[in-house]
């Protein structure tokens, strides 16, 4: 990491990463054990029989999410305007991600998808401008509510693999010779 950062960046990052490592080694390990023992539950209907299809996570999962969001693992590579924050931010974020992944990887899917979604949102600048103030916060809001009412949010993306899932082993490809090659 030191080679990837200037001396000034490294000194600042070293303190940030040390604090994150202390938090990860203390409380996050306990949370991960609970969150993985008591996985998400699908609630298909409300008390009146209306279809809601809501997934309920254990509070330990939400605390893991909050800690990673507070550390900026989901957004620290972007400025509040949705522009890249620079090489140093990428390296520090990668180190934070590595620390969090040593404790529990399940919560890192929405964290990573949020980071990746900003680049996808850049294709529609008006939408990026509206959503970035909520994405750019280091708050985590677990409530099921419209994004514009939230303190912070994570994002997901629907991918278009032929089989419609995330098992990339079942993807099929076909090579075609490029006429220009």
Q: Provide CB contacts within 8 A for 130, sequence distance 6+.
A: 148
- Can you spell out the DSSP letters for 45-96? E-TTS-EEEEEE--HHHHHHHHHHHHTTTTTTTB-TTS-B--HHHHHHHHHH
Supply the pLDDT for residue 5.
Answer: 62
Number of domains the chain is built from: 1
| Angle (CA) 66 72 77, round 5° | 150
Supply the pLDDT for residue 107.
Answer: 93
pLDDT at position 63 over 80: yes
Instruction: Please report whether residue 25 resides in a domain.
Output: yes
Instruction: Please report whether residue 14 resides in a domain.
Output: yes
Instruction: Please report whether residue 91 resides in a domain.
Output: yes
Instruction: Please report whether residue 161 resides in a domain.
Output: no
Query: How far is it, in rounded angstroms, from Cα 95 to Cα 147?
Result: 29
Mean pLDDT for the chain?
A: 87
Supply the pLDDT for residue 173.
Answer: 74
Stated pTM of the model: 0.80
8 Å CB contact between 82 and 118: yes
Enclosing domain of residue 56: 2-156
Instruction: Please report whether residue 37 resides in a domain.
Output: yes
Query: How far is it, in rounded angstroms, from Cα 83 to Cα 96?
Result: 20
pLDDT in tens, 115-125: 999 999 999 99
Supply the pLDDT for residue 26.
Answer: 73
Instruction: Please report whether residue 181 resides in a domain.
Output: no
pLDDT at position 36 over 70: yes
Strand, coil or helix: 1: coil
User: Using 50, 70 and 90 to split pLDDT, how confident is the model at 161?
Assistant: low
pLDDT in tens, 98-148: 989 998 999 999 999 999 999 999 999 999 999 999 999 999 999 989 999
Instruction: Please report whether residue 7 resides in a domain.
Output: yes
Instruction: Please report whether residue 113 resides in a domain.
Output: yes
User: How far are the Cα atoms of 5, 112, 125, 163 from residue 76, in angstroms, in the given order?
Assistant: 16, 11, 19, 33
Supply the pLDDT for residue 109.
Answer: 92
E strand or H helix that includes residue 41:
strand 41-45
> Would strands 41-45 and 51-56 be described as parallel, antiparallel, or unpaired?
antiparallel
């Amino acid at each position: 990491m030191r080679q990837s950062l200037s001396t000034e960046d490294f000194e600042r990052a070293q303190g940030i990463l040390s604090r994150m490592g202390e938090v990860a080694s203390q409380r996050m390990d306990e949370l991960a054990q609970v969150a993985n023992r008591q996985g998400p539950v699908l609630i298909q209907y409300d008390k009146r029989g209306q279809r809601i299809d809501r997934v309920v996570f254990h509070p330990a999962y939400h605390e893991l999410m909050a800690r990673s969001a507070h550390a900026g693992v989901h957004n620290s590579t972007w400025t509040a305007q949705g522009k890249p924050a620079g090489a140093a931010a990428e390296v520090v974020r990668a180190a934070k991600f590595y620390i969090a992944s040593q404790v529990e990887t399940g919560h890192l899917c929405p964290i990573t998808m949020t980071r990746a979604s900003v680049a996808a949102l850049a294709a529609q600048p008006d939408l990026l401008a509206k959503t970035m103030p909520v994405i750019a916060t280091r708050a985590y809001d677990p409530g099921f509510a419209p994004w514009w009412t939230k303190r912070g949010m994570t994002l997901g993306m629907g991918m278009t693999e032929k089989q419609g899932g995330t098992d990339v082993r079942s993807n099929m490809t076909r090579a075609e010779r490029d006429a220009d090659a």
